[in-house]
Structure 1
Amino acid sequence: MTFVLYPSERKILETMIQYINRNGYAPTLKEIAAVVGVASPATIHEHIQSLVAKGYLLKLGRYKRGYDLAPQYKKRDMEDTEPSLSLPHFGFIVAGAPIEPHPDPTASFRVPVSMINSSKPGYVLQVRGNSMKDDGILDGDYVVVEYTEAANNGD
């Protein structure tokens, strides 16, 4: 499952990916704080706990450098993947009932360009409910939505 990655979390994760792939072990909280420009290691710790909970990092015990990358991030940079765009995460969509988007200006998703069918800007919503399961869209999935004035049945 993919989770929302806030800009500060992305910066910390990118820092850890580069550091671990270069050195073979994780940086300290103070080292991360210095790189990302945060004064408090406690703030870094909170973000790292969130990255662990979301599955981007692994906790390796109670050690000073006790974190490792999830397997998909080992020996590569996040920017070396397919070209992507950053789309805002606007909240949730109830499968079967339309709702108004509620933007969170700090939340965004990196979406591969190949998943976007038009030049119109879009946004990301998380699905709540199972009414679209026959189409392979399940509760908890994320969908990329294209801005449009009107939607037709089946869009």
Structure 2
Amino acid sequence: MLTKKQLDLLEFISKRVARDGVPPSFDEMKEALDLRSKSGIHRLITALEERGFIRRLAHRARAIEIVKLPDTLAAKQPGFTPKVIDGDLPDLPPPANAMAVENVHALELPLMGRIAAGVPIESINDVPPSVAVPGAMLSGNGKHYALEVKGDSMIEAGINDGDVVVIRETSSADNGDIVVAQVEGYEATLKRYKRKGESIILEAANPAYEPRILPVGAVKVQGRLVGLIRTY
């Protein structure tokens, strides 16, 4: 039996993983549950882990995998499966013309280069290799591609240096989405997106990095995060 706060936290984490492909930060959990300190979140997380609903993943910054949902939540989310998937790059390069077919679990996506989670860098290579991605990780219609993360500005969102992020191409984003943002026409970065009036705020998930506030015309959304693969 879960308390109301434990159930609320589990539901919040589940919805954010389904939406972003990564768990929320402890600060976001604290705000969502209207708690005064992160120590209360630590206690709730520990209780959920002890009851077998979540698992904290080793060597990852505040990364959480949902193992199961109680019946009351599972009924709201039919077909639930965890979205954060441990994986590895293929040993050999896949064929350049590899295509997804029905009932194939792994799809080949172009690894388009590196995306900065820190200081923006150029993100696209001319001739991308491919990376194997679980088909269940892809969400919605449209093209998808993969990028290798360089930097540590998103560690509190569970995104580490060297991770491969799966991106769905889109030119729009909602407040709170983690996006690939092209800044001033040439540099790209992976950040949490917020719009306030005629300004765009690109927020890091690391207190060492200040938010960047830019005019709307200086930022172009190129895609939204839908999944994450980690190589150990």
TM-score computed with the length of structure 2 as normaliser: 0.31
Give the structure with the higher percent strand: 2
TM-score (norm 1): 0.45
The structure with more helix, counted as a fraction of residues? 1
